[in-house]
Structure 1
Amino acid sequence: MGPEKIIKKKKDYLFPCSNHFYKNPPQIVRGEMQYLFDSEGKKYLDFFAGVSVMNCGHCNPEILGAAIEQMQKLQHTTTIYLTQPMVDLAEKLSYLLPGDINHSFFCCSGSEANEGALLLARLYTGKHKFIALKNSLHGRTYLTMSATAIPMWRTDPNLDDCFTFVQNAYSKDKPLDIAAAESLNAVEEAIKNIGSENIAALIAEPIQGNGGIITPPQWYFKDLKKLLEKHNILLIIDEIQTGFARTGKMFAIENYDVVPDIITVAKALGNGVPIGAFCTNDKLAATFNKPSASTLGGNPVSSATAIAVLDYIENNNLCERASNLGEKLKNKLIKLKNKYSIIKDVRGIGLMLGVELIDQDGDPASYQTDIILEALKDKGIIIGKNGLDRNVLAFQPPLVITEDNINFLIAELDNVLSEL
């Protein structure tokens, strides 16, 4: 059909909130592991993975094979009937999830997963309020949008006031450790002001993706968990973007050696097939005992696909691969930082890395960020952007990339930066 006709149909039949990247966007028609192809046959190296979804690569034949095989046998019944793939997936997840987390409730998206986690926290504690961090993004349902602190994603003008937002572990002007310490102080102050008897949980991403790849120091979540436990407040960790090997661990929170009370997953678990889940331990799970169901959550096809995803991650050592390649990519990005003053910071873990850009006056280089994305696209490379000012280049590729792919990306990024 071509990009022009796609854009026209979007204007005619979709909502105007549905935007797209690029001044001259391609129409993507095909994917093959770490590559995408447009309607004119041009090949692109994908370094964004559909925002951390395609961890195992586009149209991965092993994963597609499992999905197609299940689809040919049984596609859907809903959760009120007994099917094996869902319970097999839950069992497999129980061995992979941190610590004593071993129960899962399946749904269709990250927003649903976070909504369910917040509900579970209220059911278990009998408390109503929550704490969330600035720069957070937790979803587009009413409650999860209320938990989101990025203005552009807070669409509803009348959101729930049950959330108190506190400073995250980041500051434009202060060292990371100082910003993280101030964040913990802000959490403690919020608990004092709201009253621990009113706060069910704090929800946080281990690395804030859309917020700018904000990566707390190693000690942050341990100290945060101790503080919350002192006041009988639960910790919900949102692994929607960070989960399933992206940071060199199956779950990013494992880099911080912390076991949350509730963990949420989606995106990469289905490798392009919609699936989400909120997961917890025996004690919390026991309180979610009133009738509840998800029509499509945990259906046989999504469950069989997710099992194939987890098998592929393990069989191909994607955790180790993400760690090794992520370190190489980060080191090369740091070399570019030392070469170009527009790069203020390089941060992240594994293959979830962000490059923050500033202009000569120290202001966010949002305009230049768009120029870089467009130029790299023209050179056959797709990356993302995020941050409150949309001035952070996001590198979140399929975990099946190669060192040659990294070298190609860095060479072309170097060229683009030199031409700015």
Structure 2
Amino acid sequence: MAEHRSNDDVTAAYEEYLMPIWKSLDVPVERADGCTLVDYDGTEYLDVFSGIAVTNAGHTNEAVVEAAKAQLDEFVHGCTYVHPHGPAAALAERIAGLTPGNLKQSFFCNSGTEAVEGAVKLARKYTGSKEVVALEMGFHGRTLGSLALTGNSSYKRGMAPTLNDVAHAAPPYAYRCSRCDGGPCDESCADDVERVVASHTSGDLAAVVVEPVMGEAGMVVPPEGWLARVEAIAHDHDALLICDEVQTGYGRTGTMFASERFDVTPDILTQAKGIANGLPLGAFTASAEVANAFEAGDHLSTFGGNPVACAAALATIDELEGGLVDDAREHGEWLREELGAVEEAYDVVGEARGLGLMWGVELVDPSETGPQGVSAAPDPDLARAVSDHLRDANVVMGVGGFYKNVMRLQPPLTIERSQLQRAIDALRDALDATT
């Protein structure tokens, strides 16, 4: 196996041998610990992106690593759905205790995308209906099935999604809402889901699929009552509510699952990313009544529920319940004040919004009007310049949002207040240098 011992070696190999779809923050990683990334030159970076909200318990968390190593010594694979094994059984039981309401039975897969597609299959089987409503600007994956749910044309160009029975409603994006024009926004915005059901479906609705906080849309936080209203609309049409918690789950927003923050219990809850702190694992969880709609052979995954990944997930949950979820909530309140002050100080910051350790800072050109004449124009060029400046200051911060103009703060939940302060100070410096 070829060894790559420099940043240039790794980058060159990517360009030659990986398909040209990777998005780089230009920080090759040789090793990582906690909230710190180290490249092949030995340069250290403060990571406030955590591999897109994955390493919630911190990079190379000792307890998680040791649990995975111990399981490697026992057995690595037996197919969870052919050979019952302890790690999957224990994790499923643990998830039943973590998830809200009467959610009880889980199906294990390898990724968030698979979890979403499996959840839609289950909803269709349980309801006997086929149509699905999702949200504009929402993100649920990039495979052909999940891509049909994703409400962003930039991910779809040149590809035809295979699910034809999908309609999209407006997101609860107060800053760019033509109905609210910057707020205040309330639960009535959910009435657009009712409008879409009435005008774009045939009365055969299986599910409404939403992210409790819309990550790829730019950390869009719905107003109080919005998610509960969506739940009521789904149930009024004998459909299920699927909460996609792939990005918001496992402590990210300051509760184990973001739907808890809105006092909503979904009918099916999807998980991945932070569930195993970096090992590939996904899941969707439903009540026993809904889950039992699946019959033998309806769904399967060769590698889903891999015992090593399940062992890592169990250790991850221990770490999260040991105080990290509470820490995320407290850090979130501090960030509300700090990022609110950044919003007040810089006219190029249209809005700072988030929950827990899931925050977005939307960068704008205040001299131009935004899409549909709502708020200031998105400024993706400024966001990229700010990201580059942060990288030069050894801080890794993501860029995202529907318009690619939102700085994404999603650090490991193990982050210390002093590290958060460093990130905010670096963001201010970057704004000063680029505007």
**2:132 paired with 1:126:** no
Deviation at 1:2, TM superposition (A): 2.6
Contact 1:196 1:232 in 2 (8 A): no
Structure-2 residue corresponding to 1:33: 34
**Partner secondary structure for residue 307 of structure 1:** helix
Contact 1:44 1:382 in 2 (8 A): yes
**2:419 paired with 1:395:** no
Contact 2:7 2:41 in 1 (8 A): no
The change in CA–CA distance for 1:42 and 1:195 in structure 2 (over 3 A counts) is closer
Q: CA RMSD in A?
A: 1.4
Contact 2:249 2:271 in 1 (8 A): yes
**2:233 paired with 1:230:** no
Structure-2 residue corresponding to 1:340: 346
Q: Deviations 1:56-79 (Å, cap 9, x if unpaired)?
A: 000011110000001111111112
Which of 152-161 and 275-284 deviates more? Answer: 152-161
Picking from 1, 7, 10, the partner of 2:11 is 7
For 2:110, the aligned partner's letter is C
Structure-2 residue corresponding to 1:140: 142
**Partner secondary structure for residue 283 of structure 2:** strand
Deviation at 1:230, TM superposition (A): 1.4
Structure-1 residue corresponding to 2:151: 149
Structure 2: any 5+ residue segments left out of the alignment?
368-375
Structure-1 residue corresponding to 2:168: 165
With structure 2 as the length reference, what TM-score do the two structures score?
Answer: 0.93
Which of 145-154 and 239-248 deviates more? Answer: 145-154
Picking from 313, 322, 331, the partner of 2:320 is 313
For 1:239, the aligned partner's letter is E
Contact 1:169 1:176 in 2 (8 A): no
For 2:105, the aligned partner's letter is H
For 2:364, the aligned partner's letter is I
**Partner secondary structure for residue 401 of structure 1:** coil
Q: Deviations 1:311-335 (Å, cap 9, x if unpaired)?
A: 11112x1111001011112211111
**2:48 paired with 1:44:** no
Deviation at 1:197, TM superposition (A): 3.1
For 1:31, the aligned partner's letter is A
CA distance in 2, matches of 1:94, 1:390: 36
Deviation at 1:193, TM superposition (A): 2.2
Picking from 201, 207, 215, the partner of 1:209 is 215
Structure-1 residue corresponding to 2:396: 382
Picking from 191, 194, 202, the partner of 2:197 is 191
For 2:300, the aligned partner's letter is A
**2:379 paired with 1:365:** yes
Picking from 270, 278, 284, the partner of 2:276 is 270
For 1:56, the aligned partner's letter is A
CA distance in 2, matches of 1:339, 1:73: 56
**2:94 paired with 1:92:** yes
Which of 352-361 and 188-197 deviates more? Answer: 188-197
Structure-2 residue corresponding to 1:56: 57
The change in CA–CA distance for 1:95 and 1:222 in structure 2 (over 3 A counts) is same
Picking from 181, 193, 203, the partner of 2:188 is 181
State the number of aligned residues: 415
CA distance in 2, matches of 1:40, 1:7: 13
Counting only pairs closer than 5 Å after superposition, residues 253-332 of structure 1 correspond to structure 2 as 253-291=259-297, 292-315=299-322, 317-332=323-338
CA distance in 2, matches of 1:118, 1:339: 44
**Partner secondary structure for residue 407 of structure 2:** strand
**Partner secondary structure for residue 363 of structure 1:** strand
**Identity value in percent:** 34
Q: Deviations 1:343-381 (Å, cap 9, x if unpaired)?
A: 010111010000101013232111111111111111111
For 1:399, the aligned partner's letter is L
CA distance in 1, matches of 2:294, 2:411: 36
CA distance in 1, matches of 2:357, 2:46: 15
With structure 1 as the length reference, what TM-score do the two structures score?
Answer: 0.96
